[in-house]
Amino acid sequence: MLEIRWHSRAGQGAVTGAKGLADVISTTGKHVQAFAFYGSAKRGAAMTAYNRVDDEMVLNHEKYMKPDYVFVIDPSLTYTADITANHKDDTIYIITTHLDRDELISEAPKLKGKTVYTVDCITIAQETIGRAIPNTPMLGAFMKVSKMYDIEFFKENMKRVLEKLPPKIVDANMLAIQRAYDEVK
């Protein structure tokens, strides 16, 4: 069982990202689950979304999770949200920030000794999509860190997931995914 927790602000696309990831993984025959805690669901409020992936049907519906990966797609949440909740020794963090890893850890000491990757999803999204929607770049970074799928395979499938968007936006998302894949450290 692979488990992922997303930290986001409502409106930044974590739910779409989690469902998109689930959709792509499902095409390879694995079983998936994607859900979120909405709370009061106000735009800008801190929220979490979740993925489960397994070879068997996912029957577990508890919200409690000890994640294998934590995605932080809003830079400020590293400081204000409990992103290390239910940490286990091998939890991997992929964090949106303009800082490099050492700078980030010195500013957020709770990440000390943990496996941390950094990528600036916000800037990437602004420069490619034209809006600060950092969900798809995070998935590009995840593909690099996890080596889950070949990036071309992943992009082809994400194109299908995003097919209802205008073609220009889909292309911009593909650029964003590739840039985050290349830039995550």
Q: Note the residues at the interface with another protein (CB under 8 A).
A: 18-19, 22-23, 26-27, 31-36, 38, 41, 57-64
Residue type present at position 58: V
Smallest distance, another protein to C-beta of residue 77, A: 21
| Whole-angstrom distance, CA of residue 9 vs CA of residue 41 | 10
Contact (CB, 8 A) for 73 and 121? yes
Residue 185's nearest CA partner among 98, 106, 126, 109 is 98
Residue 47: what are its φ and ψ, rounded to 5°? -150, 170
Task: Give the residue with the Cβ less far from another protein, 68 or 183.
Answer: 68
| Whole-angstrom distance, CA of residue 157 vs CA of residue 49 | 21
Smallest distance, another protein to C-beta of residue 81, A: 18
Smallest distance, another protein to C-beta of residue 136, A: 16
Smallest distance, another protein to C-beta of residue 66, A: 11
Q: Please state, as a whole number, how many other Cβ atoms lie within 10 Å of the Cβ of residue 142.
A: 27
Task: Give the residue with the Cβ less far from another protein, 7 or 52.
Answer: 52
Residues in the chain: 185
Smallest distance, another protein to C-beta of residue 165, A: 16
Residue 71's nearest CA partner among 41, 42, 51, 43 is 51
| Whole-angstrom distance, CA of residue 116 vs CA of residue 163 | 32
User: Which residues does residue 32 pair with via DSSP β-bridges, in sequence order?
Assistant: 53
